Amino acid sequence: MNINNLHISLAPLVSLIAGILILVAPRLLNYIVAIYLIVIGVIGLMGGSNFHMR
């Protein structure tokens, strides 16, 4: 497998990180949700599903 061909969608990655942070630190739930919504909104404005990390 060539590492250059590995594409990770950013939205599911942000969701996974947010979920883990909520499990680890439930007190931060409001901040994590707010940051998540901001990040997903910015991703959506930048091109939605066409935005991938390499």
> Is 10:43 a contact under the CB 8 Å cutoff?
yes
Can you read off the two tokens belonging to residue 34? 């707010």
What pLDDT is stored for residue 12 in this prediction?
A: 83
- Domain assignment present for residue 7? The answer is no
- Domain assignment present for residue 45? The answer is yes
What pLDDT is stored for residue 49 in this prediction?
A: 55
Q: What domain range includes position 45?
A: 12-49
- Domain assignment present for residue 3? The answer is no
- Domain assignment present for residue 4? The answer is no
pLDDT digits (tens, 9 = 90+) for 1-54: 444 444 557 778 888 888 898 899 888 889 888 988 898 888 888 876 555 555
- Look at the chain and report how many structural domains it folds into: 1
- Domain assignment present for residue 17? The answer is yes
What pLDDT is stored for residue 8 in this prediction?
A: 59
Q: For the chain, what's the residue count? A: 54
- Domain assignment present for residue 54? The answer is no
Q: pTM of the predicted model, to two decimals?
A: 0.57
